Amino acid sequence: MSSRMMIGKPSLPYDLCAHLQNTARSRVRRVPVASSRLNQSLLSILLEQGFISNLTRGTTQMPDPAGFLAAPLSQRRLWFEHKFRDEQPVLRAASLVSKPSLRVYKDRALLAAFVANNLRLGEICLVRSLDAHHLSEARDALKHLDNQQAVEVICRVSS
């Protein structure tokens, strides 16, 4: 268990958000990150939305799906490739909205207002359901939320 993980509350991807932004700014194409369900969910959404171009499993040395299962847990990594357009990274910024000291929760009405008024063109917001800890993009979450449900706003990613 990570020393940063709070007991009773799911962890936040602050390391991943900082790593995404730093590697994009330094124009690193292929990047390894620790293998976890949260990281895999977040990177899968970024792949679907077109911010990264590839996601695969591997070890600390290289992307190797076959070696992933044979490697010890501490050596397992998720490898992703940044997408570039005109030699510039598509992903420009990744920032947390919820923080360990201040979690941000929104019901359906507040989330709809947040998406309509605060998100710019080329920007997505990732939210996590409170019951199943399912991660999704905010616009997709609005389609499935009823008026009584709330979500935690995790991070914003922009191009």
Q: What is the CATH number of the domain that holds 82?
A: 3.30.1370.30
CATH number at residue 143: 3.30.1490.10
Q: What is the pLDDT of residue 8?
A: 45
Q: What is the pLDDT of residue 144?
A: 85
Q: Compare 134 and 40 and report the one with higher pLDDT.
A: 40
* Neighbouring residues of 112: CB distance < 8 A, sequence distance ≥ 6: 142
Q: What is the pLDDT of residue 142?
A: 92
71 and 105 housed in the same domain: no
Residue 65 included in any domain = yes
56 and 40 housed in the same domain: yes
Q: What is the pLDDT of residue 88?
A: 94
Residue 8 included in any domain = no
Residue pLDDT, tens place only, 35-55:
999 999 999 999 999 999 999
Q: How many domains does the chain have?
A: 2
Residue range of the domain that includes 34:
14-88
Which of 88, 119, 135 lies at the terminal end of a domain, its last residue? 88
Q: What is the pLDDT of residue 10?
A: 56
Query: What tokens does 151 get?
Result: 């979500």
In this model, does residue 71 exceed pLDDT 80?
yes
104 and 147 housed in the same domain: yes
139 and 73 housed in the same domain: no
Residue 148 included in any domain = yes
Mean pLDDT for the stretch of residues 94-115: 92
Residue 140 included in any domain = yes
* Other beta carbons within 10 Å of 137: 17
Which of these, 11, 2, 43, 3, lies nearest to 133 by C-alpha position? 11
